[in-house]
Amino acid sequence: MNELMHAIAEHLSIVAVAMVFATIIGIALGVLSYWKRKLGSFIISLAEIIQTIPSLALLALLMIIFGLGDLTMGVALVLYALLPIIRNTYTSLTQLPPYIIDAARGMGMSRAQRLVKVEIPLSIPMIFGGIKVALVNSLSIAVMGVLIGSGGLGYIIYRGIQQRNMERILLGAIPVVVIALIFDWGMGKAEKRLQKHTR
Amino acid sequence: MIEFRNVTKRYGSNIILQDLSFTIKTGEFVVLIGPSGCGKTTTLRTINRLIEPKTGTVFIDGKDVTKQNAVELRRQIGYVIQQIGLFPNMTVSQNISVVPKLLGYSKQECDTIVRDLLALVDMPYEENAQKYPSELSGGQQQRIGVLRALAASPPIVLMDEPFGALDPVTRDSLQEEVKRIQKKLKKTIVFVTHDMDEALRLADTIIFMDKGKILQMASPEEMLQHPASAVIKSFMGKHMDNDVPAAPLLAEDFMKKKVYKVYKSTKTLESIEMMSKRDINSLVVIDDDETYLGTVSIEDIKARGKAGRSIAELINTDIMTVGRKDDAKEALDKLLSSSSNYVVVLNDKRTVAGIITRTSTAKAMGEALWGDLSA
Amino acid sequence: MRLITFFSKNSEAMIASLGQHIALVLISVGLGMVIAIPLGILLTRHKKAAPTVLALAGTVQTIPGLVMLGFALIFMGIGTLPALAVLTIYSILPILRNTYTGITEVLPSYKDAAKGIGMTKSQVLFKVELPLALPTIVSGIRISAVYIVSWATLAGMIGAGGLGDWIWTGLATYNTDYILAGAIPSAILAFAFSALIGFLQKLITPRALRRNA
């Protein structure tokens, strides 16, 4: 039981840390793409390419570079989380009604002030949606941590597979699925509430 | 004081503003008007540098606007747009306080400003300050839009068709409020519209533009009386008719031509039959030579008529008459002052041309205003 | 470079694995289409059940690959068949979801017009709804194919064959060459599927829809 709790904590913490980095980097890149559209389409294409790479392949490649351990998994999670966050940030910003931007400019906001006071606040629901997708995916990917020396519920699952022990597998798998579902549902609800006061 | 000197602006090969030069005095309410694409909005947005001129200079109080920091310049100029553009993520109070906050006013100062401004437009602070734009009606939102532009007390306010998206009733009351506020606070307002009514109502000076040039810059009265070109004249449209006295209306314009007449020799029974068949309760009586004698009513016949006799003795002359070429007003006065339901209209030879009833009057007026009602 | 030597030495085996991998993807996505598309169509006729079914399928999707493969291993043993079972299950959701939304998003006016001119229900389905929903459905197939290329590499764990084998071997023996021999081709394969199906998608988008897009 203790082992399970420990594994869950490990699993969640590595996902959490990765998500924090991914959110910061993702939103920053999203804003950059919005400010410089040409660069933006390049950034988004790059993120799409990363997404297409099979996760096991990416993980293994990163291991070659960073070695075994949590860092590798963290980098992998951040890379996979980027696309949903960048894309949602970019899409939301570019879909803002032009007259709102006009009003903000006309009143004397600088580009940065506009971003912070108006553009990002109005984009929060969609950005949040991107974070949700990234988070739920990450929970699943992190299971593979066992293969590259990173912690988490993957160990329990893998040991179960090696021992052909169904119960062990379930012991590791069920928390992952349940936590993923809870986050999906909870963040979905939060997303809806965030939509108030954005139009 | 706003001065444009030889300002031109083009997008590719399209010339939007052509060598524009004019001056707006401090405290003036100036309306820019003209057909679509004439450059009025571009001109407006050049004042606060949302658009930069290609050549020429814009001066505000003698200072070249391009020599000032654009962002700071805009904080000194109020800006109201047609789509209102209140920020959905901010409350009314926060929206109004946007520019003061940008200028560094304290929370206290902002709060005072919000209170004062809301009072200015009769929107109680307690009810409205914490509401979000989505909770307000279109008219309320646009009022807040205007207040937001006034919050930092800018001497100049730019308005780009601010009431275009509102219903006529709200538009009307907002026009009044803006005029009132402008007079009270002594702001210089530059207002863009395509609605001549609005321009005539609000402006101290109207600048009429077409294809990037100024066709005429004059007071509303001046422009009404002496429009400088055909384009302006057609914009004026129905306003011009109001100053030309309309052709006087005559009684015959209001009358109903179908009148049921009987000769004085007609018998009572016949008359009653006629009236009941037509579901009316009186008839006009004429002499053998068709001239008007009077009227006869069904009550009279019932009361005093004798079967087999003519109605000649029952003729009533109380009903008023007018000539067909008499002034309609006279006819209507007679209709309204008398206790009867109609007035008889006579030709020159005193034959019956028609009758004016309340219904025929209403119908005639309706048709004059809105065209053929029978369609 | 050492890597290139490795590749050329083992090219036969690598190509064989590539072939196996492609086969795995084609079979499982193909089976997925056979299951998901009719199911999706069925759901559009029973819209009340749709949220539940889609949610259920979505839940299956959150089960980590390792876990499903573990189940397959225990119940079906090692080899290609268990792998195919798991991969087919995974290929269903994207296709199912896109079939459902693709059809439900077809403008009612098109369906009305079709019914109005006297088409039977199945004619409406095959001549109007499916053709108009096709781009979305193909998009779902594309998403599915890319996922499956990825999951098929995991399937190497239970001896399914394909490029995953190389990666697993490389991980177990800390052999970089093996890892790269599996990782690089599989990444390229994923791109290839994505690009190919994407191209197909463009081809079949009826010109009318293309203009609106």
- List the domains of chain C with CATH numbers: 2-212 (1.10.3720.10)
Q: Which subunits sit against A, judged by 3+ Cβ pairs under 8 A?
A: B, C
Helix (H) or strand (E) holding C186: helix C176-204
Report the helix count and the strand count for chain C, using DSSP H and E: 11, 0
Judged by CB atoms closer than 8 Å, whether chains meet at C187 and A57 is answered as yes
ipTM (interface predicted TM): 0.83
* Residue B105 at interface with chain A, using a CB cutoff of 8 Å: no
* Domain CATH for B300: 3.10.580.10
Q: Are C129 and C111 in contact (CB under 8 A)?
A: yes
Structure confidence by residue, pLDDT tens digits, A127-185: 999 999 999 999 999 999 888 888 889 888 888 888 888 888 888 899 999 999 999 99
Q: pLDDT class for A25, splitting at 50, 70, 90? A: very high
Residue C85's SS3 state is helix
User: Exposed (0-12), middle (13-18) or buried (19+): which is B295, by Cβ within 10 Å?
Assistant: buried
Write down the pLDDT at residue B359.
Answer: 83
Using only the alpha carbons of chain B, give its radius of gyration: 33
Shared domain for B65 and B122, answered yes or no, is yes
Q: How far apart are CA A109 and CA B90, in angstroms?
A: 15
Q: Is C173 an interface residue toward A (CB < 8 Å)?
A: no
Residues B218 and B342 in one domain: no
**DSSP structure class, residue B35:** S
- If asked whether residues B32 and B134 sit together in one domain, one would say yes
Burial class (CB in 10 A: 0-12, 13-18, 19+), A74: buried
Please name the member of A97, A107, A122 whose beta carbon is closest to the beta carbon of B79. Answer: A107
* Residue from C24, C66, C142 to probe the interface with A (highest A Cβ count within 10 Å): C66
Q: Give me the pLDDT at residue B249, please.
A: 73
Name chain A contacts of C152, Cβ cutoff 8 Å.
Answer: 54
Average pLDDT over residues B15-42: 92
**Do C65 and A58 count as a contact with CB atoms less than 8 A apart?**
no
Structural domain count of chain B: 2
Domain assignment present for B314: yes
**Residues facing B78 on adjacent strands:** B157
A90-94, B239-243, B321-325: least confident range: B239-243
Tens digit of each residue's pLDDT (9 = 90 or more) over C8-23 = 788 888 888 899 999 9
End-to-end CA distance of chain B: 55
pLDDT band at A22 (very low <50, low <70, confident <90, very high): very high
Q: For residue B95, which of B56, B123, B66 has the smallest C-alpha distance?
A: B123
The domain boundary, picked from B177, B210, B243, lies at B243
What are the beta bridge partners of residue B188?
A: B156
Chain-chain contact of A144 with C74 (C-beta, under 8 angstroms):
no
Residue C48 CB neighbour total at 10 angstroms: 7
Report if residue B375 sits inside a domain.
no
H or E segment at B8? strand B2-11
Q: How many CB pairs under 8 A join A and C?
A: 107
| Whether residue B58 is found in the same domain as residue B188 | yes
The answer, for C192 touching chain A at a CB cutoff of 8 Å, is no
Tell me: do B230 and B271 sit in the same domain.
no
- In angstroms, how far apart are the furthest CA atoms of chain A? 68
- Is residue B30 in some structural domain? yes
Confidence label for B244 from pLDDT (cuts 50, 70 and 90): very low
Domain that holds residue B69: 2-243
> How does DSSP assign A89-157, residue by residue?
HHHHHHTS-HHHHHHHHHTT--HHHHIIIIIHHHHHHHHHHHHHHHHHHHHHHGGGGGGGT--STHHHH
Last residue of a domain, one of B193, B211, B243: B243
Domain termination site, one of B187, B218, B243 = B243
The answer for residues whose C-beta is within 8 angstroms of residue B135's C-beta and 6 or more apart is: none
Kindly determine whether residue C186 and residue A57, on different chains, have CB atoms separated by under 8 Å.
yes
Report the alpha-carbon distance of residue B181 to residue B174 in Å, rounded: 10
What are phi and psi for residue B165, nearest 5 degrees?
A: -95, 10
* B81 touches A at CB < 8 Å: yes
C66 → closest Cβ in A54, A63, A157: A157
pTM over 0.80: no
Cα separation of B91 and B128, whole Å? 9
